[in-house]
Chains A and B, each alone.
Chain A
Amino acid sequence: MQSIALLTLGAVFIPVWNVLTKTHLSDVQTSSIARVSDPLPNLLSDLYLFLSISFLAILLGVTCAFYLEEWLPQTNWIRRLVESQVALFSGIPSLLYGLLVVTICLPYTGAFKAIEASLSVENLDVTPLSATAFQGDTTLFYAAGLTFVLLVMPRAIKATQEALRSVPMPIRESAYALGASQWQVLMKHVVPLAIPRVLAGGCRAMSCALAAAALFIGIYIWGHTTQSGQMSSSFALFLGGALLLSILSSFLAERYPSVSM
């Protein structure tokens, strides 16, 4: 089973590596010329930003889950509220989130076209280079960012909470009964046992974010580029990254099964 996982991992890794080595900085960076001639790099720079936001959201989600699970009692209203919201949001498939991003950003792409049209080649050099694609409407930017956060954070919280719960009660009890403080129990026993599963959950959440981004690009390219039949390198990158992370996550979950007493 593990060897199959490793083989798949390798098979995915090679094309992704190729894409990575071929992806030049110019694909990512927003230059004014690129922005006018091809809207994709712009979109990409925003997506890269969203992905880093997602990553931060995962870290925040993990911290949040630790606090909820270890410090708040089960009956606390904040914990109950967060848990019900997490259950609600993590139940939504990531595909729907991808579509949500698209529906949020479709008006934006229209807005982008308007900006593009307003820029003639003559006044190109007066346009500030730092202008972002979302200069037309910053609320759209925030909305799309929020969608990514809503996608990954509940998943990260849920996975971390499950990982923490998978640490058997007797282990905690015995450490507490020996007089360990909560912090010592957490650092010496709970975290080392839970970390592979927390990582697995984080990878899975990040993979969802990448998949949503890939979906976004896929739909975007399909509607907006003239070069048909050619898969965008970034599309392959995101999709490959999503696959890679989800395989890594199942690998971690399989390699480190929950500790049993």
Chain B
Amino acid sequence: MDLQTTPLNYSIETENLSLWYGDFQALIDVSVKIPDGQITSLIGPSGCGKSTLLRSFNRVNERYGNVTTKGKIEVLGKNIYDPDVSLPELRKAVGMVFQRPNPLPISVYENILFGLRIHSAVGSLTRTEADQIVEEALTSVFLWDDLKDRLKVRATTLQLEQQQKLCIARLLPLKPKVILMDEPCSALDAEGTLAVEELMEALAGTYTFLIVTHNMAQARRVSKECIFMFLGELLEHRETQALFQTPEHPKTADYVQMRYG
């Protein structure tokens, strides 16, 4: 961390964030700052609150009902629990990729335009614009060559790896600032994982990535900073190499040296 000479901008900041599902406290006083334009990974044993933390950044976990949140979350400098925050706008700026690829059961083409269509007035998108947007989005996730002749194919019939890339591609037309990923590679094989990681590395810089992963090798490979969570608490947040080589907290040491987890 001492190598950082230029002051960092933070995409996401939380202050004493606590979250309950009913009576169960899933997050305990989490204060974290996620820097702009790089990949940050969240690691920790199952049930430690990684996914909960991730999902609170675009407020999708509210949908599960009976969720109480305390503390502050600022995304792009704006407190997302302010009453004037519009959820569609927030989710437009903070995209999300899920564990299992979940393209909508419509064509590849329409999947990519779905986000734009719901955020713009009916008929405001011309055919040529739409074609261009689809091509750009697919090109940036390296899918254009594979799919350019199959744009009308139902997205759920693609290979899993292509589906997951498509799920990333459909975020891009919305020009998000942050992309949250909840174990994006756990449903993919080694090759697919590598392809998605390459994609993330190519896109980092333009977008801020926050990725939950159970795969520590992956965290080491792709992320610049790493956050270790344990039982709802944030125990350690450091540069990835430092965290893996000289963990400060004994729990982190146990986990990264795979004594449990």
Contact = CB atoms under 8 A, between A and B. Distances in A.
Contact of B102 (A73, A75, A174): A174
20 contacts: A73-B66, A171-B102, A171-B105, A173-B98, A174-B104, A177-B60, A177-B96, A177-B98, A178-B91, A178-B170, A178-B171, A178-B174, A179-B87, A179-B88, A179-B119, A179-B174, A181-B87, A188-B118, A189-B104, A261-B156
A173 B102 contact: yes
Contacts of A177: 58, 60, 91, 95-96, 98
A176 B104 contact: no
B156 to A, nearest CB: 7
Contacts of A193: 105
B169 to A, nearest CB: 12
- A75, A171, A174, A177 pick with most chain B CB within 10 angstroms: A177
Question: Which 10 pairs of residues, A with B, have the shortest CB-CB distance?
Answer: A170-B102, A179-B91, A179-B88, A177-B96, A174-B102, A178-B115, A73-B65, A179-B92, A180-B118, A184-B118
Interface string B35-74: 0000000000000000000000010100101100000000
A201 to B, nearest CB: 21
Interface residues of A, number: 20
Interface string A83-121: 000000000000000000000000000000000000000
Nearest to A169: B102
Contacts of A189: 104-105
A181 B87 CA distance: 8
A188 to B, nearest CB: 8
Given A178-B115, A179-B118, A259 B105 contact: yes
Contacts of B90: 179
B98 A174 contact: yes
By secondary structure, the A interface counts as helix
Contacts of B119: 179
B28 to A, nearest CB: 24
A74 interface: yes
B177 interface: no
Given A170-B100, A177-B95, A179-B91, A74 B115 contact: no
B226 interface: no
B229 to A, nearest CB: 22
Interface string A158-192: 00000000000011011111111100100011000
B146 interface: no
A177 B167 CA distance: 11
A74 B65 contact: yes
A178 B174 CA distance: 9
A181 B102 contact: no
